Structure 1
Amino acid sequence: MSTEHTDEDPGADFERLEAPPEGVPAVVDTPSGLEEALAALAGGVGPVAVDAERASGYRYGQKAYLVQLRREGAGTWLIDPVPFEDLRALDEALASTSWVLHAATQDIPCLAELGLRPRALFDTELGARLAGLPRVGLSAVLEYYLGVTLAKEHSAVDWSTRPLPEPWLRYAALDVELLVELRDRMERDLREQGKLDWAEQEFAALCEFTGPAGSEEPEAWRRTTGVHRLRKRRSLAALRELWQTRDTIAQERDVPPGRVLPDGTLLDLAQRMPRQAAALGSERKESSRTRQRRAEQGLLRHQRAWLTAIRTAAELDEEELPEPSRRGDTPPPPRAWAERDPEAAERLTLVRAALAELSERLEIPVENLMTPDVVRRVLWTPPEERTAQAVDERVAELGARPWQRELVVPILVHALTTQPS
């Protein structure tokens, strides 16, 4: 692998970057400040480094509470999106500019909520995976390519705090300080490895990324941890009503749903369907003291809401109850394949071994060669004609990129056409 550092040495002396060389910029939170930022960034040159900070674990949803940008000739800008209706004007100013992000799938959804959407991008986390780096966190990748390490003390703080403390702003500014330089080094490495075209295909696909379905999805409640344990349709109806009640409370309080009531307690209520306040509690214990305390407080604080949800489910007509599951064309868990379809299980074993060998040879994680879900869908429900063309068309429909199809389709076809032993 041709890079600036041929090997990672855990004992290497990396330069520790504690603060931006140009200082920590003031937070932009006024219309006039935003106009100044727009003019500066529009007048800059080259790609723009972009990052966003959320209040995950503190607030409802994945809203951005700070947007960081850096571009040559424009410097670093920290924008507080809260005072503004949106940042569409910034999107227009950067419309012709390529973005550089680290772990783009984490930031694209919350930036899209603000009206920001990249037309072209470079993801240094995904690029690091394709380049074969063993660790792909931003600090590790900066160490590998630039010999610099970043302080990460404030990665999990509550970014909805106002005013934001100066040490947090310093951390936020550092996240975009070296992204463009990192991109340049990584691009050269990918080109020398013959992987740049593959990376560019992945980056182009990321521009269309929308993120996982949120709570507005009609049946988002089915993602509750442990839902598979509910066998009765009436219990599923109770879970649905309880989940929707919890989500409404969480939105009103602007806290994550799990802070209102943990999934385990929600599931317990759906199974027991208590009808009196005194019966809401149970002998069940949560996995930690914090969860247990939240469960006890949540049951007490909103006991009327929980009882109403359970009563609603209890009074539903039979035809209004949800079905036990929605299998569709989703394959079962791999551990169940041997019992349900031994031939499919054998195909999966063959493909897993071949992908592991290819992964090692190309120094690319197996999951990046082709999404495991795509592989399982094709092997569990093969196309009617098990030809290269038919398989290629199927994986393309499921979102596989051309470079992935070129590498993996022959492996899938071989497994689909090999006689079981």
Structure 2
Amino acid sequence: MARRRALPTNLPESVVANPDELAECVEHVRAASCLALDTEFVGEDSYRPDLCLIQVATQDRLIVIDPFGTGPLDAFWELLLDPARVVVVHAGREEVRMCRFAIGRPPANVFDAQIAAGLVGFTYPIGYAGLVQEVLGARAHKGETLTDWRRRPLTPAQIKYAYDDVRYLLPIWAWLTDRLKRNDRLGWAAEEFAAFVRRAVNDDPAVEKWRKLKGMGGLNARELAVAREVFEWREAFAARLNRPPRVLLRDDLIVEIARRSPARAEDLHTLRGLPRGEADAILAAVRRAHALAPADCPEVTERDNDLPHVSTLASLLGVVLAEYCARIKIAPNLVATTQDLKALVRARQPGGRRPPESALAAGWRAAFIRPHLEAILDGREVIRVSDPASPTPISVHPFPAPDDSAPAAASRESAAEPDDRI
């Protein structure tokens, strides 16, 4: 993709470190129709990440907000709730979550540059420094990635890094927006941004968090109920102590407790790594699970027992998807996963139905991408190797017209006859 020259980014810079400076900053941002946003935080030893820095760019200024000295930030976060104000982020899951944690709602109008880049042909996910280099021809230094942002005073290197994290976002936003308009994909982007915000706030609403624990595959419905109750207790316990949940009780121990379904404290004491003094609370969670009616226990998720041809056809669709995405300049792994492709194949099996959680079942993917994949499954289009030496060696073509298909039909018939030759 053609690189653009670096755009002017020598904007005035300011550090906001007290309530008066924050009030002036809020008034400045209030007048802006768009802003770039990034945050620095430390999350290794707390239930929710500790916010250590907020970086903001408008068309006129670069701002670093130090929350350790400014007092409450509600007035700033509330500015992000205005749908008329675009909030530009890069891989901005934590920025969305920080806003939600602070005032109960996520930003109303998010533009994620990483997602937008994938929709116009860049690799997905592309890092911030790589995107800056590709779009603007500039270099964004990432030397402070592992710094401890809680320590004060901040060093000049940390402050420069903080400014650079938003310095280029608005020029990139303008460039990507122009590309999305040219390709008539603004609607696609809006759909993706909305889904991204939902996932950031709710993780994946289609998948219960506790089901992501490893080792759940062999549990029956009652044992799954135990795992769910203990998991939910751990979440509440971690929130109360403001500690990472897995530090307090490892995932594998939750699964082991579910397998054993202990009835007494002595049964728990044989397990290493349980939090001290919490045996009664864990046993209470187990008892709650056993008190449930069978109909209220979680359903056992059946494993996919696909016949070999399902995986074969899904792999073929992966080739077709890669070819089509290269042609229309979009990142294929942003479009569909292997599981999405398998779901499409399963829908063609006897009695098969397309699961509602498949990404290809709705939105722009269903309207613009799925028909090309279904054309292959239905035999309306075929693929062939057009040039083995080309970076795009595969091409897709309509199935030959009836009067052109006789040789192919004859070939199929002869191939079906027994071969008596030695």
In the alignment, does 2:24 pair up with 1:58?
no
Identity score, percent? 18
- Aligned-pair CA distance for 1:22: 4.5
In the alignment, does 2:294 pair up with 1:325?
no
Q: 1:229 aligns with which of 218, 240, 248?
A: 218
User: Aligned pair in 2 of structure 1 residues 229, 108: CA closer, same or farther (>3 Å)?
Assistant: same
The aligned counterpart of 1:316 is 291
- Aligned-pair CA distance for 1:219: 5.0
1-side partners of 2:121 and 2:207: how far apart? 39
Deviations along 1:344-366, one digit per CA (max 9) or x if unpaired, are 44542432221122234444322
* Aligned residue pairs, count: 372
The code of the aligned residue for 1:76 comes to: I
Within-5 A mapping of 1:233-244: 233-244=221-232
Please tell me whether the aligned partners of residues 225 and 298 of structure 2 are also in contact (alpha carbons under 8 angstroms): no
Tell me the C-alpha RMSD between the 2 structures. Answer: 4.3
Residue 145 of structure 1: SS of its match in structure 2?
helix
Within-5 A mapping of 1:33-112: 33-44=21-32, 47-61=34-48, 66-78=53-65, 80=67, 83-85=72-74, 87=76, 89-91=78-80, 95-112=83-100
Deviations along 1:53-98, one digit per CA (max 9) or x if unpaired, are 4443332246855432210224424263972456454236x64332
User: Aligned pair in 2 of structure 1 residues 241, 377: CA closer, same or farther (>3 Å)?
Assistant: same
In the alignment, does 2:28 pair up with 1:2?
no
Return 5+ residue gaps in structure 2 as ranges: 382-411, 413-422
Within-5 A mapping of 1:161-180: 161=150, 165-166=154-155, 168-180=158-170
The code of the aligned residue for 2:324 comes to: L
2-side partners of 1:133 and 1:214: how far apart? 25
User: Aligned pair in 2 of structure 1 residues 99, 310: CA closer, same or farther (>3 Å)?
Assistant: closer
In the alignment, does 2:383 pair up with 1:414?
no
- Aligned-pair CA distance for 1:267: 1.1
The aligned counterpart of 1:359 is 325
Within-5 A mapping of 1:14-413: 22-23=12-13, 25-27=15-17, 30=19, 32-44=20-32, 47-61=34-48, 66-78=53-65, 80=67, 83-85=72-74, 87=76, 89-91=78-80, 95-115=83-103, 118=107, 120-134=109-123, 136-155=126-145, 161=150, 165-166=154-155, 168-187=158-177, 194-195=182-183, 197-198=184-185, 201-207=188-194, 209-211=197-199, 213=202, 219-230=208-219, 232-277=220-265, 279-280=267-268, 296=273, 298-313=274-289, 315-316=290-291, 319=294, 322-325=297-300, 333=304, 336-338=305-307, 342=309, 344-345=310-311, 347-370=313-336, 374-381=340-347, 398-401=361-364, 405-413=367-375
Larger radius of gyration: 2
User: Structure 1 stretch 245-254 or stretch 211-220: which is displaced more?
Assistant: 211-220
- The normalised TM-score by structure 2 is 0.70
1-side partners of 2:44 and 2:206: how far apart? 21
The code of the aligned residue for 1:308 comes to: A
Please tell me whether the aligned partners of residues 239 and 270 of structure 1 are also in contact (alpha carbons under 8 angstroms): yes
- The normalised TM-score by structure 1 is 0.71
Please tell me whether the aligned partners of residues 15 and 65 of structure 2 are also in contact (alpha carbons under 8 angstroms): yes
Deviations along 1:289-337, one digit per CA (max 9) or x if unpaired, are xxxxxx62x4435333333333444x5265376144256xxxx55xx32
Return 5+ residue gaps in structure 1 as ranges: 6-13, 284-294
The code of the aligned residue for 2:112 comes to: D
2-side partners of 1:204 and 1:358: how far apart? 21
Please tell me whether the aligned partners of residues 374 and 395 of structure 1 are also in contact (alpha carbons under 8 angstroms): yes
Please tell me whether the aligned partners of residues 115 and 192 of structure 2 are also in contact (alpha carbons under 8 angstroms): no
Deviations along 1:359-378, one digit per CA (max 9) or x if unpaired, are 34444322223465554444
2-side partners of 1:410 and 1:217: how far apart? 26
The code of the aligned residue for 1:68 comes to: Q
2-side partners of 1:189 and 1:325: how far apart? 45
Please tell me whether the aligned partners of residues 280 and 299 of structure 1 are also in contact (alpha carbons under 8 angstroms): no
2-side partners of 1:227 and 1:410: how far apart? 36
Please tell me whether the aligned partners of residues 276 and 307 of structure 1 are also in contact (alpha carbons under 8 angstroms): yes
User: Aligned pair in 2 of structure 1 residues 362, 43: CA closer, same or farther (>3 Å)?
Assistant: same
2-side partners of 1:259 and 1:86: how far apart? 34
2-side partners of 1:73 and 1:59: how far apart? 36
Please tell me whether the aligned partners of residues 13 and 61 of structure 2 are also in contact (alpha carbons under 8 angstroms): no
1-side partners of 2:243 and 2:153: how far apart? 19
The code of the aligned residue for 1:2 comes to: A
Residue 15 of structure 2: SS of its match in structure 1?
coil
Residue 337 of structure 1: SS of its match in structure 2?
coil
Residue 217 of structure 2: SS of its match in structure 1?
helix
Please tell me whether the aligned partners of residues 213 and 251 of structure 2 are also in contact (alpha carbons under 8 angstroms): yes
Deviations along 1:184-219, one digit per CA (max 9) or x if unpaired, are 34445666xx53x22552145414632253599995
